[in-house]
């Protein structure tokens, strides 16, 4: 789910994106030393600052470190023959991990068959984060938007955004890129923590204006770097998930 703000009518728009190539090397952000240092910082923050998690923090740490269930998340290089089944297995594991970490928040991560969508909790039904077509990258992207959304937006369908197709104006595209920097920076860190490649999406395959001067890939890179250097600036739920993914992906 990719979101833009249309300042002409003061409404929010949502778009579904396409990945684009970029000369920015996102893999350089998170080597093993950086990952372990970031994990240690997040571990300390979670155990001391998050009242919901700290009582069971050490149990979570033991579980995700020693349970072989979570190993499929570490799947940077999949062969052609194994990729489809391994991708589904990794997505299943991500769903299980999300449910474990956020069980107290009345929300579920759901493999969708169509386009991504967020449904707030309703009556006795938990909130649902449905990601597109069962894709692992889509799951990470939708989780990123959920992490960014505050309490008020989590009560709204699709966090209060509207759909907008590709082919937007230059002004709409600039708004899209501004609002996508932080979600895609989170998605980048989640992907790298799983030892998977990351590509930005500018969702502008049908743009009829010059996009060559866009700084979006660099902006996402810089925001991700800022999060690494200042983990306290990460959204609270993003801190927990990133800590878990780093613990799984980089445990010696």
Domain ranges of the chain: 22-71+84-250
Q: Is the pLDDT of residue 230 over 70?
A: yes
For residue 197 the two structure tokens come to: 């490649």
**Residue range 170-184: mean pLDDT, rounded:** 85
Alpha helices (runs of H) in the chain, residue ranges in sequence order: 32-49, 57-66, 80-101, 136-148, 170-193, 216-229, 236-250
Q: Is the pLDDT of residue 237 over 90?
A: yes
pLDDT of residue 166: 61
CB 246 within 8 A of CB 38: yes
Q: How confident is the model at residue 20 (pLDDT cuts 50, 70, 90)?
A: very low
For the four alpha carbons of 56, 57, 58 and 60, in that order, the dihedral sign comes to: positive
Q: Is the pLDDT of residue 14 over 60?
A: no
Chain segment 36-73, per-residue pLDDT in tens: 999 999 988 887 765 566 556 666 777 777 767 777 77
Mean pLDDT is lowest, of 11-20, 54-63, 106-115, 194-203, for 11-20
Q: Is the pLDDT of residue 13 over 50?
A: no
Chain segment 84-112, per-residue pLDDT in tens: 778 888 899 999 999 989 988 999 999 99
CB 145 within 8 A of CB 183: yes
Q: Is 88 exposed, middle or buried (0-12, 13-18, 19+ CB in 10 A)?
A: middle
Chain segment 119-166, per-residue pLDDT in tens: 999 989 999 999 999 899 999 999 999 999 989 999 999 998 876 666
């Amino acid at each position: 789910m990719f979101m833009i703000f249309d300042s002409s009518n003061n409404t929010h728009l949502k778009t579904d994106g396409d990945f684009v190539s970029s000369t920015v090397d996102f893999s350089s952000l998170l080597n093993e030393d950086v990952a372990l240092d970031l994990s240690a910082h997040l571990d300390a923050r979670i155990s001391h600052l998050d009242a919901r998690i700290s009582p069971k923090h050490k149990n979570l740490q033991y579980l995700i470190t020693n349970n072989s269930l979570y190993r499929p998340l570490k799947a940077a290089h999949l062969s052609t023959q194994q990729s489809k089944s391994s991708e589904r297995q990794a997505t299943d594991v991500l769903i299980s991990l999300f449910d474990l970490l956020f069980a107290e928040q009345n929300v579920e991560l759901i493999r969708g068959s169509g386009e991504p969508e967020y449904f707030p909790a309703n009556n006795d039904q938990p909130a649902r984060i449905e990601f597109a077509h069962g894709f692992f990258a889509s799951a990470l992207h939708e989780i990123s938007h959920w992490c960014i959304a505050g309490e008020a937006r989590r009560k709204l369908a699709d966090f209060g955004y509207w759909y907008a197709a590709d082919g937007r104006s230059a002004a709409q595209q600039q708004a899209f890129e501004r609002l996508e920097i932080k979600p895609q920076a989170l998605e980048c860190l989640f992907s790298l923590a799983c030892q998977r490649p990351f590509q930005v999406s500018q969702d502008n395959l049908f743009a009829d204006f010059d996009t060559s001067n866009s700084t979006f890939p660099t902006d996402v890179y810089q925001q991700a770097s800022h999060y690494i250097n200042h983990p306290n600036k990460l959204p609270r739920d993003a801190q927990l998930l990133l800590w878990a993914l780093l613990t799984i992906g980089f445990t010696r």
